[in-house]
Every structure is written in C-alpha cells, then in structure tokens.
Amino acid sequence: MSLGRTISACVLLWTMGACGTGAEAVSVEHGSRFDRESGQLAVDTEQGVDEVLRKLRRVRYRDLPQPYVERTEQNMAPFKKRLARRRYLEVRGTQRLMFIAGRFRIDDFLAHDEVWRRHNATYDQSEPQFLLLDPKLPRTIVRLQNALRRRELDAEAFDVREAFRPPRLNREDGGASRSRHIYGEAVDLVIGDINRDGTADAADKAIVLDLLEHKLVRNRGGIGRYPGSQTIHFDFRGRRARWDSY
C-alpha cells in the first residue's frame, strides 16, 4: 500500500468513525522496505494469487496451538464443527507483507486482533498468525481491479477493510453472529474515487456493486450494499444473499 493510499483510506475510514487501531495497516516503512528488498510485483492474475498462497504452510484446525484456538474462541459451538474441517494458512514474520491481490497484502486479510497489533511493531517470526482465506476472495479482487482497469477507472481506489474475523473478534466488532468473516469467506471493501471525479461517493460504489452483482459474485454469494456508506461486503457462501443494513 502506498503512503497516499494508506492516508486516503484512513481519511475515508475516519469519516465513517472507523479509523481506530484496528484499521491501521502495515507500517509504510516496513512495507516499502520489504517491497524493495523482495522485489515483489503487484499480483494481477488469479494464478498469481494461487502462487502466493502456495508459499504459506497449511495447518489443520486440530494442529493449531491450543492457546490460540481458545483465545480466539474458535473452539466454541457452533463454530468448532465447521472450522474443524478448515485448513488455516500460517503467516510468519514478514510473510504478512506479501502482495496477495494487486498491492493488497496478506496483512489486509489477517484478523486485526491483539496478536496482529503486537506484531505490528516487531514482525516477530516466532509467533505465527493464522489465516482462513477463501482463495475466491483475493482472486475476485484481482478480477475486480482488472475489470476497472479495462474501463479506464481507478483500480486502486478502494481498500480492504476487514476479512477474517475469528469468533471472538467478530463478537467484539459487533459482526453478525454467523458472519461469513468467521470462516474467511467474506471481505469488506471501502470504496474511494473509482471514477476519478474528485469525490468518493455513491457513483463510485455503484460501479463496484454492478461488477460484483453481474460479473464477479452473482448467485454464488452474498453482497452487503450498505447505502449511505462507502462500505461493501461480499462473500462466497455458495448461494445468493443481498442486504442493505448492517
């Protein structure tokens, strides 16, 4: 994420009253140093997404560290049954800085909880973070950006606000009790000035919603439209769902 993008996203979030500690992304210094040293390029194909995901170790639910499972409440009914079948991605140290979709990083999809905040200062290698991420989410973001580019719109004028939320974080954030975020199947975007007319408003959001509705999500998942805000939720729950209020 460039400095400009980080700031504009923060202004957007702040105007919505949401730019708390949880909304702070990777430090610009850490990010740009990693980009320079790794020479990583924006991920602009679906195959590129899959290549990045293959770099991360996959961990079964039963192999997750027990204190982590308890702290995040992933052991609680009714979540445990569904989560027990999932494979988690293990994210260590600077792996969180890898681009996964465009210039969005693994970091943008991690649960923004206390471990994540602790790592913000240290990028500690010893304590991994765990991520549930339906690959359809980053693949769809890549497709969205490519569709915007083809229409000569600003493909970078949006941010990933939240993706994976383990049960405890979901509860603390006031998410729906059966939110798809719990299973790493949902993402919230904040839409900026897609049409480059100088303001981030409903017209920009309508462009993205239209692409999600007719091209990217269709009947395969849910779309939260939240009129009056710049936020959009989408998920791949395997069936159609649409709603307007939080």
Positions in the binding site for Zn ion (CB under 5 A): 186, 188, 233
What CA–CA distance (Å, rounded) separates 63 from 218? 35
Cβ contact 102:142 at 8 Å:
yes
User: Shortest Cβ distance from residue 224 to Zn ion (Å)?
Assistant: 6
Q: Which one, 73 or 173, has the nearer CB to Zn ion?
A: 173
Q: State the nearest-atom distance from the C-beta of 107 to Zn ion, in Å.
A: 18
Minimum CB distance to Zn ion, residue 176 (Å): 8
User: Is the distance from CB of 187 to CB of 158 less than 8 angstroms?
Assistant: no
Q: How far is the CB of 59 from Zn ion (least distance, A)?
A: 24
User: 113 or 188: whose CB is closer to Zn ion?
Assistant: 188
Residue number, 48 or 224, with CB nearest to Zn ion: 224
Shortest approach of Zn ion to residue 181 CB, angstroms?
Answer: 6
Return the number of the residue (3 or 241) whose C-beta is nearest Zn ion: 241
Sheet (strand 57-60) strand order = 57-60, 87-91, 129-131
Q: How far apart are CA 89 and CA 109, in angstroms?
A: 11
CB nearer to Zn ion: pick between 107 and 162:
162
Residue nearest Zn ion, Cβ-based: 233
